[in-house]
Structure 1
Amino acid sequence: MKFTRNHYFLIGILLILFGIQFRLVDSFVLNERCTKALDRVMRNTPVASNDPFSSFVMQVHPNPTKRVRPPRWIGAAMVVSGIVISLHSFSLRRH
């Protein structure tokens, strides 16, 4: 499959939208299935901590979950690369 102008534009727009989402969201909480899969892959991160708040949450919601906090620069990098790819799509020939 050959990438056309529309494909590059779509990829750029998606990167911009994902980058904005990463900039606006502080953290993501994974469900139990994703937490177990991530634990099998990483094998060195604890699933739950022993602080009082976590023990209270475990009583209310007993399934182990992992909180992922992406760095702030990832969102900015995605937005900038999406802008560059979208602008590049305008320089390509029309199909």
Structure 2
Amino acid sequence: MEFDRNRYFMIGMLLFMLGIQFRMVESFVLNETSTRALAKFAQDTQIAAQDLGTNIYLAAHPSPKKSVEPPHWFGWALLTAGGVISLHALALPKQNS
């Protein structure tokens, strides 16, 4: 698949909009399934354990939820990359049909 002008522009706009989202949001709260998957990936045995004691404890108490705070610069990086890619798409020659 060849990347033409439209695909570059679409990728640039998606990155730009993701950058806007990351600039407007302070933090993300993951649900229980995502928190467990992240804990297994990070090798955190306290939350990732699936033994009987953990299951009984989680049945009686609220489920663990992880809050993710993206770095401040990440939104700016996505905005910049999206803008550069979108402008590059406008500089590319039009596709011959």
TM-score by length of 2: 0.79
SS in 1 for 2:8: helix
Alignment of 1:50-65 (within 5 A): 62-65=62-65
Partner of 2:35: 35
Structure 2 unmatched runs, 5+: 48-57
1:8 maps to a residue whose letter is Y
Q: Distance in 1 between matches of 2:92 and 2:45?
A: 45
Runs ≥4 residues deviating over 2 A: 44-47
Secondary structure, aligned partner of 1:26 = coil
Q: Secondary structure at the match of 1:2?
A: coil
How far apart are residue 16 of structure 1 and its match? 0.7
| Residue 30 (structure 1) shift | 0.5
RMSD: 1.9
Residue type of the alignment partner of 1:42: A
Structure 1 portions without partners, runs of 5+ = 48-57
Sequence identity (%) = 52
Aligned residues: 83
> Which one has a bigger Cα radius of gyration?
2
Q: Relative to structure 1, is the Cα distance of residues 66 and 92 closer, same or farther in structure 2, using a 3 angstrom cutoff?
A: same
1:45 to partner: Cα distance: 8.7
Alpha-carbon spacing, 1:45–1:23, altered in 2? closer, same or farther (3 Å): farther
Residues 46 and 17 from structure 1, CA distance in 2 versus in 1: closer, same or farther, beyond 3 angstroms? farther
Distance 1:42 1:91 in 2: 43
